[in-house]
Amino acid sequence: MKSAGLKTGHYKRSPDVANATVREWLPRGRGDWRQDHWGSKLEEMTPTIEDLIPEYLRGLPVYVPGKPIEEVERELKIHAVKLASNENPLGPSPKGIAAAKAVLADSNRYPDGGTHALRETLGERHGVSPDEIFIGLGSSELIDLAARVLLRAGLQGLTSEGTYAPFSVAIRASGAELVLAPQREFAFDLKAMAKTIAPKTGVIYLANPNNPTGSAFGRAQFDEFLAVVPDGVLVVLDEAYIHYALSMGLRDSVEAYRQRKNLLILRTFSKVYGLAGLRIGYAIGRPELLSAMNKLRTPFNTSGVAQAAARAALDDKEHVARCIETNAAERNRLSEGLGKLGFRPVRSEANFVFMVVGPDAKALSDDLLHMGVIVRPLGWMGFPEAIRISVGTAEENDKCLSAMARVISKRAGKGELAAR
């Protein structure tokens, strides 16, 4: 049945779907609509769906997650520890879990799409209005939304070499040009980045502390950098690991934000709060930017369970303090242990340790995997000679150090000691 007033037919579309605009409405002809009775030019359409995928998306790399424990245990039939994804080894906040359980039975209802309670709590926590808080599906969604709102073909997105790969992906997926500033001693070189800012720069992505190197910059360096960033360029400051850092205080970036209109701070519940599996994070930024991001997100991006857990976890001071202390102590022990084995880990301000191990980094990671220790080889992040080891519990770190010692002695026996 045809509804009155509903036109049928098809749109002529551009092969570049990202830039496609509906230009021309072609009325549907009688009989076989594929025939050219009414002047349609179907032959101009792309022959296959694959051809519709724009060139700049085809070349994008796929995010490589750390190997899941279950997969390793199933394949190798060994008990494994996962030190590959910078998760919280002490588990989720117990208060967060209790709150999540309490709302689980309401899962037949959609969650609060406006995330009012959590934005209220976070606003109070940071001394900003709830309109300056945006809740995302982890900080991953926020990285992507910032680029989708502000970047497009003809603009540039700037980040550094050797940083979190999704920054580059978000920039390229927006159609903008990716510009990478060089890194210096495994850290952001903010001076080099400042020099790279150009008239077409729209967004700059920074991670502090940086993943995968673990290095961090301090308040003075950051202020100096912000002072030279033009007002029309957004600085996205990803602070996923900020609780573990010594260089920059937890409040520093929010204070800087109060003085700047062009800063977007990203935080996550995936690390110190231990809620990586629930997928929830937040941004602090100007309401005008956040409301544009709000239009692009999916209507119920975060679940009610995640929102409840996040709110309760924020208040779980005891869990947060325990996680920070344990991480600091174990990070030292792991770094020292690796040092005794002849490695030179980069000084870390996060919950992982980065080190250059030589050209056989992938083989070394595979050897560790076969001993039940999952670490991250970093070729896909631009460091083919390095690995990253997440700080685990004392027991997990002991297992890692002893497996590493065995790998080294096995290799020394074969004359294959990695160049370190």
Give me the 259-278 binding string for ligand PLP, x by CB under 6 A, dash otherwise.
---------x-x-----x--
Q: How many CB atoms lie within 10 A of CB 24?
A: 12
Q: Is 240 in the site for ligand PLP (CB under 6 A)?
A: yes
Q: Decide whether 283 or 371 has the Cβ nearer to ligand PLP.
A: 283
β-strand 177-181 against 156-160: which pairing, if any? Answer: parallel
Among residues 116, 115, 163, 164, the alpha carbon closest in space to that of 140 is found at: 164
Min dist. Cβ of residue 199 to ligand PLP (A)? 28
Q: Decide whether 158 or 371 has the Cβ nearer to ligand PLP.
A: 158
d(CA 210, CA 240): 9
DSSP 17: G
* CA 47, 52, 56, 60 torsion-angle sign: negative
d(CA 34, CA 12): 13
Quick one: which of 132, 144, 177, 238 contacts ligand PLP (CB under 6 A)? 238
d(CA 160, CA 201): 14
Q: Decide whether 86 or 174 has the Cβ nearer to ligand PLP.
A: 86
- Position of minimal CB gap to ligand PLP: 138
Q: Is the CB of residue 224 less than 8 Å from the CB of residue 217?
A: no
Please provide residue 71's backbone torsions phi and psi, each rounded to the nearest 5 degrees.
-65, -45
Q: Decide whether 76 or 246 has the Cβ nearer to ligand PLP.
A: 246
Which stretch, 8-16, 132-140, 148-156, 245-253, contacts ligand PLP (CB under 6 A)?
132-140
Q: Is the CB of residue 112 less than 8 Å from the CB of residue 119?
A: no
Q: Is 397 in the site for ligand PLP (CB under 6 A)?
A: no
Q: Is 204 in the site for ligand PLP (CB under 6 A)?
A: no
Min dist. Cβ of residue 264 to ligand PLP (A)? 13
Q: Is 138 in the site for ligand PLP (CB under 6 A)?
A: yes
Which stretch, 88-96, 133-141, 336-344, 384-392, contacts ligand PLP (CB under 6 A)?
133-141
Min dist. Cβ of residue 136 to ligand PLP (A)? 8
Which stretch, 48-56, 118-126, 134-142, 181-189, contacts ligand PLP (CB under 6 A)?
134-142
Q: At what angle do helices 361-370 and 394-413 cross, to 10 degrees?
A: 120
Q: Is 211 in the site for ligand PLP (CB under 6 A)?
A: yes
Min dist. Cβ of residue 151 to ligand PLP (A)? 18
Min dist. Cβ of residue 172 to ligand PLP (A)? 17
d(CA 351, CA 275): 15
Residues 34-93 that bind ligand PLP (CB under 6 A): 86
d(CA 25, CA 32): 17
Q: Is 139 in the site for ligand PLP (CB under 6 A)?
A: yes
**Site size with ligand PLP, rule: CB under 6 A:** 13
Q: Is 354 in the site for ligand PLP (CB under 6 A)?
A: no
Quick one: which of 83, 99, 207, 235 contacts ligand PLP (CB under 6 A)? 207
CA distances from 359 to 62, 84, 266, 335, 415 (A): 23, 19, 34, 21, 14
Q: Is the CB of residue 359 less than 8 Å from the CB of residue 419?
A: yes
DSSP collapsed to 3 states, 337-383: HHHHCCCCCCCCCCCEEEEECCCCHHHHHHHHHHCCEECEEEHHHCE
Q: Decide whether 198 or 296 has the Cβ nearer to ligand PLP.
A: 296
Which residues contact ligand PLP by CB under 6 A? 86, 138-140, 164, 207, 211, 238, 240, 268, 270, 276, 281
